[in-house]
Structures are given as structure tokens and as C-alpha cells.
Amino acid sequence: MTDVHAVLLPVGPDLYAVPIDRVKEVVAAPILTRLVTAPPHVLGLFNLRGQIAPLLDTAALLGLPGAGPTAFALVLQSRQGPIGLSATAFPHRAILGASIGPSELPGTAGTYRVEHGVAVLLDPDVLLAADRLGRAPGREIIVSSGAGG
């Protein structure tokens, strides 16, 4: 297996990795609009230069307890448009070598040794699949702003 270029996503004391080709950008302290009727994994919506994007609770998507306040959003490009994953500290680049084992968490693709610890590689296609997010296939989480200006 070749090295995987990734962005490490801190979620509480744990590290998760997202393949770098899936990452659009990192947003510091996104200002959220909460949605009263949203499922628990949707923290709210934020404005990404005029485009509305949902911010998802990374820990909740993985079936883990809350990890703390969102300091950053790691923005991924999906078929539905940009989607943010919550991070509790600054996401940064890393190169993942060979896998050191599997991961039992849903939406993950293995465990890797990084820097001073271990990171679990996320599979964005599985993690953000319509059936996992509680929406019908092809139905967007939100409707993007079509207003010009």
C-alpha cells in the first residue's frame, strides 16, 4: 500500500484522518445557526462565503460520546455540496504509512500510527452516506443558498 496523504482531525483526545483529496478547507470557529429539528449529529449550519453548509458532530457520526466544543470545521466536498466535520483542535496534514490494524467504528477504513499516537482513517463516502445520516438517497441535508450577491 502506498502512503496516504491526509488531514488529521482532532476530536477530543482522539485523532481521525481524512484523505487530503477529499478536504476542501479548514474553517476556524464557524458561527453556527442551530436547527431545532435537526438530528443529533447536525450541530447547525454555517456560512461558507455565501454557501450554506451543515456542520456535523464527528464524534456522533462515529457513535462516540461528545468530544467538546467545536474549534474548527474540516470542510469536505460531497455530492450534496460542502459539509463540515467538527474538530476540537486545529486539523493538520500528515502522511499515513501502512495500516497497523482495522477499526471497528462505522465509516472508518483502518488504524495508522502517526506522530505521537494513532489515527483512525475515515471513509467519507461511508461516513456521509445518506442511510447513515437519516435522509433519503439523493436528498440533500440542506438547500444551498441560490441568492446572488
- Digit-coded pLDDT (tens) for 37-89: 999 999 999 999 999 999 999 999 999 987 789 999 999 988 889 999 999 99
3-class SS of residue 94:
strand
pLDDT of residue 126: 93
pLDDT of residue 96: 94
Q: Could you tell me the pTM of the whole model? A: 0.86
Does residue 145 surpass a pLDDT of 60? no
Does residue 137 surpass a pLDDT of 80? no
Mean pLDDT for 102-111 is 95
3-class SS of residue 58:
helix
Does residue 127 surpass a pLDDT of 70? yes
- By CB atoms closer than 10 A (0-12, 13-18, 19+), residue 61 is buried
Buried b (16+ CB within 10 A) or exposed e, 128-147: beeeebeeeeeeebeeeeee
pLDDT of residue 31: 96
Give me the sign of the Cα torsion angle 101, 5, 130, 47: positive
